[in-house]
Amino acid sequence: MSEPSWQDQLDELLSRATRLRSEGDRGAAARLLDAAPERIKAFGSWKYARGSLAFEAGDLPTAVEQLEAAVEREPAVPEFRANLGAALLEQGRQGDALALRRAREVLEQACRDEPKLPHSYTNLGTAKLALEDLEGALACFDRALAMDPNHLPSLYNRGAALKKLGRLKESLATVDRLLSLDPRFQAAIDARKGLVAQLEAAPR
């Protein structure tokens, strides 16, 4: 009986790591990936999985390092760029202006590759929002919502972009749409209170 291929071993490893992560044990999932043979660690999918786990754990340097390597290994996969962009965006939120600009570049490339999921557009929109490109951000969120009308992060950030543009009634309508899908979304609840207060205080 022949030994399973490296690809088969990788698929089994990633399946086990995903199961551990879904059970809430990211540490065990990371340890499982770290114990893999070096040949498996060379795959872009391994680097993507490891970088994504590091990102979820708040270890941004490891996340960026592994996701950069995943993109380098498999540059045609837009989701790899999307997660790299998200990690760079988080670094930008923590004050790294260079990482924020790099996030925008990476995410623009991810969107040019026509991703199948809305996250690339949502992340690009968030980067543009942070860089005060409000109309560009809004266009990205609308593109994401065209792919998935119930995508909560896109709805939330669309509301934020509309608020910054001074389009308060549209912002409130977007937040209300989000809350109709998830009434316990605390950030949206807080945003709605602020919008209602602003609208009530506005001259009539």
Q: Which residue has the tokens 């070096």?
A: 38
Average pLDDT, the chain: 93
| Alpha carbons 4 and 99: distance in angstroms, whole number | 40
Per-residue model confidence as pLDDT tens digits over 129-139 = 999 999 999 99
Provide the 8-state DSSP code for 117. Answer: S
Look at residue 1 and tell me whether its pLDDT is greater than 60: no
* Number of residues that this document lists for the chain: 204
**Distance (Å) of CA 42 to CA 3, 32, 39, 68, 126:** 19, 15, 5, 13, 31
Percent of the chain whose pLDDT exceeds 90? 83
Q: With bands split at pLDDT 50, 70 and 90, how would you rate the model's confidence at 4?
A: confident
How many Å apart are CA 126 and CA 147, to the nearest integer? 17
Tell me if the pTM is above 0.85: no
| Mean pLDDT value of segment 6-23 | 93
Coil/strand/helix, residue 200: helix
pLDDT per position as a tens digit, 57-102: 999 999 999 999 999 999 988 889 989 999 999 999 898 989 999 9
User: Can you say whether the dihedral through the CA atoms of 150, 152, 156, 161 is positive or negative?
Assistant: negative
